[in-house]
Amino acid sequence: MGLIVRRFLFGCLWFVILWFAFGAIGGGLAGASASAKRTQEGTPVRGFDQGYNVGFEAGLEFQRQHGRQVLVAALVCGFVGSMAGILPGSKGNS
């Protein structure tokens, strides 16, 4: 398999990994922020179910607002990093 094909395939793999990771991190931070904001407003989150629902709604809102940016960032980081040989699996035969 040629180096360019290998880098392209690893770029696809890294795109999926980074897309999932960026979305999960952003959604998790949005959920934690929403929970902290409710506590500051005087209506603290009580119990696992209520905390889950607040975090879930905040994560969905994050995806609605920033989903395209996350997608583009993962695409650029995955393919540029792979084609440049920076990401693991895309380095030359050394």
Q: Do 38 and 2 touch, CB atoms closer than 8 A?
A: no
Number of H helices, E strands in the chain: 2, 0
Task: Supply 41's token pair.
Answer: 């407003």
Can you give the residue ranges of every domain in the chain?
22-83
Rounded to the nearest 10°, the torsion over CA 23, 33, 47, 42 is -160
Compute the distance between CA of residue 50 and CA of residue 76 in angstroms, rounded to an integer: 36
Tens digit of each residue's pLDDT, the chain (94 residues) = 688 888 899 999 999 999 999 999 999 999 889 888 888 887 887 888 888 888 899 999 999 999 999 999 999 999 999 988 888 887 766 5
